[in-house]
Structures are given as C-alpha cells and as structure tokens.
Structure 1
Amino acid sequence: MILTGLAVGAVLGIVMQRGRFCVTGMLRDIFLQKTWRSFVALLIVISVHAVGIAALTSAGVIAPTYSNFAPLAVIGGGFIFGLGIILAGGCASGTWFRSAEGLVGSWIALIFYALSASAMQTGALNWLNAGVKSYDTSLTTLPASFGVSVWFFAIPLAIGTALAARHFLVKEAAQPKVARLNGPWWRRPLHIYTAGALVGLIGVIAWPLSAAAGRNSGLGITGPSGNIANFIVTGDGAKVDWGVMLVLGLFIGAFAAAKATGEFRLRVPDATTAVRAVAGGAMMGVGAALAGGCTVGNGMVQTALFSYQGWIALLFIALGVGAGAKLWLKPSTAPVTAGTYSTEESLDQAPTSAEDKVLTPGFAVATGAVALKTAAPKTQKARPLGQGRYALDTLGAVCPFPLIEAKDVIDTLDVGEELVIDFDCTQGTETIPRWAADNGHEVTDFRQTGDAGWQIAIRKN
C-alpha cells in the first residue's frame, strides 16, 4: 500500500513543477511585490483541502487526530522556518521540486533540511524539540473551541477564496496580456490557481490512501524528509513509510516534468548561494520540527483542519519570510557578472547570454568592443548593446534575484530603452513577464535559449 504514496507524490511533483508552485514565492510576493495574487493560490489549496477533508471525516472515511497547540514551539518554529526558506530559496516542497530541476543549491538545502529535521525528531537535537514543545495548551482546533461543525469554517473560507480568486482573475483580464513562451500546450506552465486546485485535490486523495497504509495523515514533507535521513544513517526499514514514498515520488514526478519540457539542467551555485543553502536548510528542518510542520504540513493540511497550530504557524512563517526578505533580498551593489557557475560542467551547459549574442530578430548582434563605444553605461550591472539597449546576465542567480536585479536596472533606464535579460531560474518565466505587464512595460521578445535557459527583452514605458 505504501506504493500509492509514490504515485500520489509523482502527480504532486508534476503539478508543482508545472505550476511553479512554491509557498515561499507566494508569501514573498506580499512583501516584495505588494500583491496577494499568488497567496490566493495557497488559499485555494486550503479551501479544497478543507471541504474534502470535512466530507471524508463526515463520511467516516478518515479520522484525523489533533495536536495540542504549543505556542512557543509553533511561533518560534514558524518564524525560524520562514527565515530559512528565504535563505534556501524555496519552501520544503519547493526545495524538493527545484532539486529535481537540477539546482544543486537546492540539493544542499535539502540535505541539511533532512538532517536537521531528523536530529530534531530522534537525534541530537531531540532534547530541544521536546523541551520547547513541553509547554502546550488544551487548544486544538477552532471548531472544537466554538463547539461547532468544521463546515461552519470550511464553507465561508471556500466562498471567500472563490471571491478573492475572481477578483484577481478579473483584474488580470483587464491588464495588458502577460507575455508567454511559445510552444505546445503541454510545455506551458499551469496557471497558479489551477495548480492550487489540483494540489488541494491531491491532498484530499492522499489522506485515505495514507491512512490505509497505516499513516493517519495527509500530505507532509518534513517528517518524511527526516525519515529518509534516519533510514540512510540507521538502516531502520520502519522509517520508509507512505510519506517517504510521497516525497520520493514528488522528486520523480518533478524531474520527469522538467526533463520533458526542457527545464532540467544542472546548475551549480556560487559560494554565497551555497552557504545560504546550508544555513537555510538547517533552519528549515529545525523550524518545521518545532512548529509541527512546514508550509505543506502546517500551511496546507493543518490549516484545512482549522487547527490553531496550522494558522498560527502560517502567520509566523509569513512574518519570517517578510523579515528574511528585508534582510537578504536586495539588489547587489557590485556589477552582476556573467557565469556564476562554479564547475566546468554547468558552464558547458549554460545557455549563451545576451552579452555574447542577442537573439531578438531585427537587432544587430553587438560584440563587447562595439558595445562599449556606443554610450556611457548608465548602470554597472547591465552592459550597453547600442541603440538604447542593455544586456543583464543573471545566469546562475536563483529566484527571486533575476527579478530583483531587473527591477533595479530598469529604474536607471530612460523610457523607450530596452533591457535584455538572460536567466535560468524557472520561476522567472512567470514572475518577470508578470512584473513587466503589471508595471506597463512592453515585452518585445521572450524565448527559451536552451535547457533551463531563457531570454526576455523588456522595453521601459
């Protein structure tokens, strides 16, 4: 029966990879982009989950159990986890599917996430985990506290989420159309709201399948990740449960999706990104273990159960993300240099940047020597190409840094001038053209330049 976890995980990995579905980005957008649009996708997951779990519980198919709310652990753990996912560049599930896209930095974060989660669960840090959780309350869920059916919360949440989604979809339809990559339908990313609905549905299906295998829970990432590390170290086969199959399936599904759509390529981080991945991964494991779950276990499952743990953990994860964004997500002060890769292998696979070749039809290709003679540079980050065009090479930079640097550079350009951006962050295929549309800039060209490599040209308006 645990093999059903592998199948569910594979479908989840495909949906998350094709939907660029990472809760870190959803929470980060609130602080960096000042929009709640992508956060509504998380509310869609929670709403679908909530209605589905309430129906299964009412029908006697599943019997969820509820933990007592431990305020110190949930608040502190949630905040630490939020800081960690900013450093690591993705939440727990996001780190798994980005690892499947070939981001070695995500592999590093994943290793330290699994190790620290295992240390907190059964290893050297178990004393910390148990000690902080020792202070708890009798509070479990909101429905229990008010003495009402869970439907009194699930239905209003679903209605409110539907109205919020409609608001942003109407607003989206009224705005300039967001530039999309050309190609067959199956290579195009899923709309984030479609992905949210599918993730919620998968979560509903997951619970009875997991319960049938002896694991009375739904989707989860932290516990299974810790169990993998525990199994590798101890060889204890009991650790390989339905949840472990789920995360392994998530990796397999995301890899298959990335490979099939040309979005897989090994990308080795620079030293700064690698160090952040180590610190972020360790903080993710510690924080999620304390809080009783990550952005999946708490942010999708416990919230759907309307537990105090789930909603308060999500709030403090968001606050941690906001603090982390303030501390670490800033444009660089030094010029952005090409080739942040650190191995020959990744350099050999890296797509050609705009500094070497501009792919937009109708424009002359400018070599470095010619470009330097055309005009005095307005910014040290972007290289002048002549005729009011500039090239920004962000190959190797993890999200959201390609967008952060693009925003910083375009602020220095005059209206009518153009910025050509090379990037290999998959999430950038959504965030960069959407930012351009939201701010009234014109995308004059957008194309894939190779495996997991893209180039977009934006004219400032």
Structure 2
Amino acid sequence: MILTGLLCGALLGFVMQRGRFCLTGGFRDMYLTKDNRMFYALLIAISIQSVGVYALIQMDLIKFSAGAFPWVSTIIGSFVFGIGIILAGGCATGTWYRAGEGLIGSWIALFGYMAMAAMMKTGALVPVNNSLKDYTAPHNSIADTFGISVWPFIALLVIITLWVVIRTLRKPKVAIPSMKAKRKGLNHLLFEKRWHPFFTAVLVGLVALLAWPLSEATGRNSGLGITTPSANILQYLVTGDDDKFINWGVFLVLGIFLGSFIAAKGSREFRFRAPDAKTAVSSFIGGILMGFGASWAGGCSIGNGLVMTAMMTWQGWVSLVFMILGTWTASYFVFVRPRTKAKRQASAATAAATA
C-alpha cells in the first residue's frame, strides 16, 4: 500500500510539469504583472479538494482533526518561506518537479531545503522549531471558531472561485504559440498540447483528494505533504532507519520527481541546465529559507497553501496570505528595485551625455 504514494506523487509531478503549475511564479506575477490566473487556479484545486475531503469525512471514510492554531510560528514561518521560494526559483513542490526536468539549480535548492527541514524537525534546530509553537489559539478550524458547520465556508469558497474563474474565462483570449505537433491523438494531448492553468488545477485538486484515502490506508492521516517527507529522505540516508523515516509521504515526493521526469522526457523539455554562480548561491539560500520557514509554519505552499486551506483551517489561510506577502517582499528586492535603480542610472547617464 505504501507504493500508492509513488503513484500519487507521479501523477502530481506529471500534471504539475505539463501544466507548469508554479505557485511561486503565480504569487510573483500577482505583484509584478497583476496576473492572478495562477492564484485562481489554486482556488480551483482547493475547492475541489475541500468538497471531496469533507464528503469523505461525512461518510466516515477518513478522519481529520485541525487541532490548535500556532499563529505566531505560522505567520513568521510562512513569510520566510515566501521569501525563500523567490530566491530558490520555485516552491517545495515546484523545486521537486523542476529537479525532475534536469534543472541543477533546483537540485541545489532542494538540498538546502531538505537539510534545513531535517535540522528543524529532528536535528540540532529542534529547540528553534519548537520555540514559537506554544503561542497558539485554541481553535484551528474556522468552523469550530464560529460554532457552525464547515459547509457554509466551503460553499462560499466555491462561489467565489466560480465567480473569478468565469470572469477570467470571459475576458478576450490572448493567442499563445503552441509547440508544433508532430504526433496526434493521446500523445499530442499528453506531451505537446499546452495545458490551461484551470484544467491543470482541476487535475491537481483531484490528485490532492486522492492522496487522502491512499495515505489513510497506510496509517498516515493526512493529505499531500512535502516538507516532512523531504526531511525524512535525508534523515534516512544518514541513519538508515527505514522504520522511522520511510513512509507513504516519502514515496509521494519521490513520485513527484519521477512523474516530472516522465513528463519532461515525453515533451522533450528534459535537459541538464547548470546555473551561474550567483544563481546557485541564491538557490541554496532560498532552499534553506524554505526549509526553515515551512518547518516553523507547519507546512509549505502545498501542506498549508493547498491542503490546510481546503480543510478550512486558520493555519492554511493565514499561511497563504503571509506566504504571498513574503513572495511580494522578495520580488520587490529581487526584481523591482534593481530595475528601478538601473533605469535611474541609465537616465542619469543620458542626461550627463547630453549636458
């Protein structure tokens, strides 16, 4: 049963690679180009998972407990994580699937992410990881906070999602060049045709939903998760303790890498690409910040931003907000400020030349 994690991860990796489902780019573009399509796609995936998971809970097929809300660590950790994913060039899942494409910078970021997460969760930085966890609110579940059923909140999310999606689809379409089709039929649909972000989001939401019963069957009562399984891989390689560190989640993240590799090879997008020294250093620092922030926040862009939001928890939605704020802050210093400075210098040089 544990191998179902590999299957689930492979499906997720394949879908995310082919659909270019990148939350880092999506959050960044909300700020830089005012393009919200990837954020709306995330809402689609959240909505599908939320409806499906709570239906399974009502049928008593899976169990979920939201617990308390560690609000301080969630806020700070999510903001740090948001900064990290801009420097790394991808979020936790994005780093895994881009590593499967042969991007060496993502391998570097992945190592920093795994190493820091391992130190925070089971290593020398456990005291740091636990230092803010005592600052909690009693209710993590939004429904429990208001003392009502969770379904009105799910209905509200679905209505908002449908509204923004329909509004976006009604806008004039921009022509996007597609790859030249050399194959027809299923191969063309899987490996050549450009996938729409909203179609990709539907598939991501279905895979996220599938993860719950598959994971539950192995005794792991959770959905998709990236940070802890990534840390577990490194801990297993160091200690060799498979009973403690190898579980469904580990096979999930390995499956993401495998699925992305298959998709990249099939679409002729796989190739090894080495970064320059500056990018390599940025990727490593970003990976470290990702591991640090995700550990403090109790989840990454998938664990909090996709799963805990679907479960209608304060942790998920507060984390998503501060994750986005972190990406916007980093985007200002990485993209906006250098461009502004360069324009000023160019203007000054032009003025001096014409004086």
In structure 2, the partner of 1:119 is: 119
2:29 maps to 1:29: yes
AA aligned to 2:74 is: V
Aligned ranges for residues 1-80 of structure 1 at < 5 Å? 1-80=1-80
Match of 1:229 among 230, 234, 246: 234
Identity of aligned residues (%): 48
In structure 1, the partner of 2:205 is: 200
The higher relative CO (CA closer than 8 Å, separation ≥ 6) is in 2
Match of 2:275 among 257, 262, 269: 269
Measure how far apart 1:332 and its partner are: 6.8
Q: Secondary structure at the match of 2:63?
A: coil
2:189 maps to 1:191: no
Match of 2:303 among 294, 297, 300: 297
Q: TM-score, normalised by structure 1?
A: 0.70
In structure 2, the partner of 1:131 is: 131
Q: How far does the alpha carbon of each residue in 1:249-300 deviate from its partner, in whole angstroms, 9 at most, with x for none?
A: 1100100000111000000000010000110000000000000000000000
In structure 2, the partner of 1:144 is: 144
AA aligned to 1:250 is: I
Measure how far apart 1:35 and its partner are: 2.2
Q: Highest CA radius of gyration, 1 or 2?
A: 1
Q: Secondary structure at the match of 2:287?
A: helix
In structure 1, the partner of 2:89 is: 89
AA aligned to 2:324 is: A
Structure with the bigger percentage of helix = 2
Q: Secondary structure at the match of 2:312?
A: coil
In structure 2, the partner of 1:440 is: none
Q: How far does the alpha carbon of each residue in 1:105-163 deviate from its partner, in whole angstroms, 9 at most, with x for none?
A: 00000011011011110101100011111221202111111111211111221121012
2:251 maps to 1:245: yes
AA aligned to 1:232 is: L
Find the aligned partners of 1:211 and 1:82 in 2 and give their Cα distance. Answer: 29
Find the aligned partners of 1:269 and 1:332 in 2 and give their Cα distance. Answer: 20
Match of 2:289 among 279, 283, 291: 283
AA aligned to 1:315 is: V
In structure 2, the partner of 1:219 is: 224
Count of residues in correspondence between the two structures: 331
Measure how far apart 1:201 and its partner are: 0.7
Find the aligned partners of 1:211 and 1:131 in 2 and give their Cα distance. Answer: 30
Q: How far does the alpha carbon of each residue in 1:300-320 deviate from its partner, in whole angstroms, 9 at most, with x for none?
A: 000001111100011000000
In 1, are the aligned partners of 2:37 and 2:197 still within 8 Å (CA)? no
In structure 2, the partner of 1:316 is: 322
In structure 2, the partner of 1:449 is: none
In structure 2, the partner of 1:343 is: none
Measure how far apart 1:188 and its partner are: 2.1
Measure how far apart 1:5 and its partner are: 0.4
4+ residue segments displaced more than 4 Å: 330-333
Measure how far apart 1:94 and its partner are: 0.3
| Distance verdict in 2 for CA 1:68–1:270, change over 3 Å | same
Find the aligned partners of 1:84 and 1:168 in 2 and give their Cα distance. Answer: 29
Match of 1:179 among 177, 180, 184: 177
In 2, are the aligned partners of 1:20 and 1:189 still within 8 Å (CA)? no
Find the aligned partners of 1:141 and 1:176 in 2 and give their Cα distance. Answer: 40
Find the aligned partners of 1:135 and 1:24 in 2 and give their Cα distance. Answer: 28
In 2, are the aligned partners of 1:44 and 1:196 still within 8 Å (CA)? yes
Find the aligned partners of 1:190 and 1:236 in 2 and give their Cα distance. Answer: 41
Aligned ranges for residues 361-440 of structure 1 at < 5 Å? none
AA aligned to 2:227 is: T
In structure 1, the partner of 2:164 is: 164
2:316 maps to 1:325: no
Q: Secondary structure at the match of 2:327?
A: helix
Find the aligned partners of 1:36 and 1:5 in 2 and give their Cα distance. Answer: 31
Q: Secondary structure at the match of 2:131?
A: helix
In 1, are the aligned partners of 2:178 and 2:194 still within 8 Å (CA)? no
| Distance verdict in 2 for CA 1:332–1:138, change over 3 Å | closer
Q: Secondary structure at the match of 2:132?
A: helix
In structure 2, the partner of 1:427 is: none
Please, which runs of 5 or more residues in structure 2 have no aligned partner?
A: 182-187, 340-355
AA aligned to 2:189 is: W
AA aligned to 2:175 is: K
In structure 1, the partner of 2:352 is: none
Structure with the bigger percentage of strand = 1
Q: How far does the alpha carbon of each residue in 1:180-239 deviate from its partner, in whole angstroms, 9 at most, with x for none?
A: 222233312321101111111111111011011010000010111011111111111021
Find the aligned partners of 1:320 and 1:61 in 2 and give their Cα distance. Answer: 37
In structure 2, the partner of 1:457 is: none
Q: How far does the alpha carbon of each residue in 1:380-429 deviate from its partner, in whole angstroms, 9 at most, with x for none?
A: xxxxxxxxxxxxxxxxxxxxxxxxxxxxxxxxxxxxxxxxxxxxxxxxxx
Find the aligned partners of 2:125 and 2:297 in 1 and give their Cα distance. Answer: 14
Please, which runs of 5 or more residues in structure 1 have no aligned partner?
A: 334-461
Find the aligned partners of 2:174 and 2:275 in 1 and give their Cα distance. Answer: 35
Q: Secondary structure at the match of 1:288?
A: helix
What RMSD, in angstroms, separates the aligned Cα atoms of the two structures? 1.2
